[in-house]
């Protein structure tokens, strides 16, 4: 059988940091014909869901990645073929397929779904040996093995629910919970760890896992330091009132974004990305704006914000936020930002600190606008203020650079021109 009549569909690689993807939907049923370029399935990776287009025309003969399955880049996720290709030839193709990442073949066995046979049930538990090349060890995830050792659990008694019976961290936790309910002495370590209380388990999505990984790396690898400033908002609040009275839909946050972009033009060292041995400083300000979504925090980007009007920024932020919450952002809309802004003012938070979004070198956290006592010309008065906290990467941003930016921002906000 000529293999040019059988065509693989593999987990694509979108961006240099992508390592794996999670299947969220199949748009074509087994046995159906697809044309090249048709939307074959949806894959969640990092902070967005992308549609995977069919790489060729043909009949969908195998699905090797059911919904909610997570596979590494390059893994075989489906097989297309001419309609008259024999099932035995498809089986041989799947068996002999070599993923882009050779380690995947050892570490992640795949289960095949066919049009004529139901998926095989989970394989009974296998014994985890200490031989790094053994089949048993390949069927136990490293984190599951470490957890089992910590809790004193015999992995040969744990039933794996992953592909070909692969034992995951969740399987070990479930087994530990069953021991606790049965009053087994083996549950003592888990109870000591505070897990005796029943808990609702929720598997992390690919987005949430990526967020956890990237923030952990940022906090661990980047020497953060923070500077705090209070911005006088009377002028900005007055400008917003005038814009609203003219029929425009403008928020304080929109005005602050415009002011931040204006200030960054004078401080390119903060409008930058750190690339190993180089600091890439940009003339164009591409503001990444943190947006909370059901799946986690995403940071869509307002391009060239310093050269946009407040109205344009407001419209862009509304559009990006709506599509972020609906999971409809394109990859290019969340990559390449030069500076990030995060605001919790709408929740009444006075001040907070944010974690830098690498490879950027700074992030500004914005609190709520509040009426506060201020001293004006030696007299006590009531003014509107916002507290901001600037987190900077001390490897490339000195304290004087960060302080200079905050001083410029304070001046821009206090002397904003009316419209």
Which secondary-structure segment (H or E) carries 176? helix 169-182
Per DSSP, the residues of 216-268 read HHHHHHS-EEEEEEEEE-HHHHHHHHHHHHTT----HHHHHHHHHHHHHTT-T
Those residues whose C-beta lies under 8 Å from the C-beta of residue 115, and which sit 6 or more positions away, are: 30, 31, 61
Strands 370-376 and 58-63: unpaired
HSE on the CB side for 315, CA within 13 Å? Answer: 6
Find, among 288, 365, 271, the residue nearest to 324 by Cα. 288
Is residue 394 flagged as an active site residue?
yes
d(CA 393, CA 359): 10
Cβ neighbours of 71 (radius 10 Å): 22
Catalytic pick from 68, 224, 258, 394? 394
Dihedral sign (CA 89, 63, 207, 361): positive
Nearest alpha carbon to residue 371 among 381, 358, 360, 356 = 381
The set of catalytic residues is: 394
């Amino acid at each position: 059988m000529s293999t040019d009549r059988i065509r693989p569909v593999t987990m694509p690689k979108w961006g240099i940091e992508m390592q794996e993807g999670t299947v969220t939907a199949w748009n074509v049923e087994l046995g159906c014909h697809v044309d090249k370029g048709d939307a074959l399935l949806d894959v969640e990776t990092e902070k967005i869901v992308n549609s995977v287009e069919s790489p060729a025309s043909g009949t969908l003969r195998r699905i090797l990645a059911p919904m909610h399955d997570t596979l590494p880049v390059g893994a075989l996720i489906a097989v297309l073929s001419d309609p008259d290709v024999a099932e035995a030839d498809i089986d041989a193709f799947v068996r002999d397929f070599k993923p882009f990442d050779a380690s995947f073949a050892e570490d992640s066995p795949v289960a095949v779904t066919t049009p004529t046979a139901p998926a095989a049930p989970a394989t009974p538990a296998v014994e985890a040996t200490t031989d790094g090349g053994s089949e048993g060890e390949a069927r136990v995830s490293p984190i599951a093995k470490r957890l089992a050792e910590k809790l004193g659990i015999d992995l040969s008694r744990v039933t794996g629910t992953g592909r070909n019976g692969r034992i995951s961290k969740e399987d070990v936790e479930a087994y530990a919970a069953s021991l606790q309910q049965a009053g087994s002495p083996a549950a003592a370590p888990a109870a000591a760890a505070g897990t005796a209380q029943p808990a609702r388990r929720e598997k992390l999505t690919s987005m949430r896992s990526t967020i956890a990984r990237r923030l952990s790396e940022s906090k661990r690898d980047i020497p953060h330091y923070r500077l705090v400033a209070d911005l006088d908002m009377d002028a900005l609040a007055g400008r917003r009132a005038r814009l609203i009275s003219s029929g425009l839909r403008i928020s304080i946050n929109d005005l602050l974004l415009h002011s931040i972009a204006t200030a960054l033009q004078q401080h390119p060292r903060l409008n930058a990305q750190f690339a190993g041995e180089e600091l890439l400083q940009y003339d164009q300000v591409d503001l990444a704006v943190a947006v909370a979504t059901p799946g986690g925090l995403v940071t869509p980007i307002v391009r060239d914000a310093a050269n946009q009007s407040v109205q344009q920024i407001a419209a862009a932020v509304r559009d990006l936020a709506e599509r972020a919450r609906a999971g409809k952002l394109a990859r290019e809309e969340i990559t390449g930002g030069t500076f990030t802004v995060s605001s919790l003012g709408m929740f009444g938070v006075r001040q907070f600190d944010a974690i830098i979004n690498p490879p950027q070198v700074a992030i500004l956290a914005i609190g709520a606008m509040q009426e506060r006592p201020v001293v004006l010309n030696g007299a006590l008065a009531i003014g509107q203020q916002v507290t901001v906290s600037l987190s900077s990467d001390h490897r490339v941003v000195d304290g004087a650079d960060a302080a200079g930016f905050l001083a410029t921002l304070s001046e821009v906000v206090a002397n904003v021109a009316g419209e």
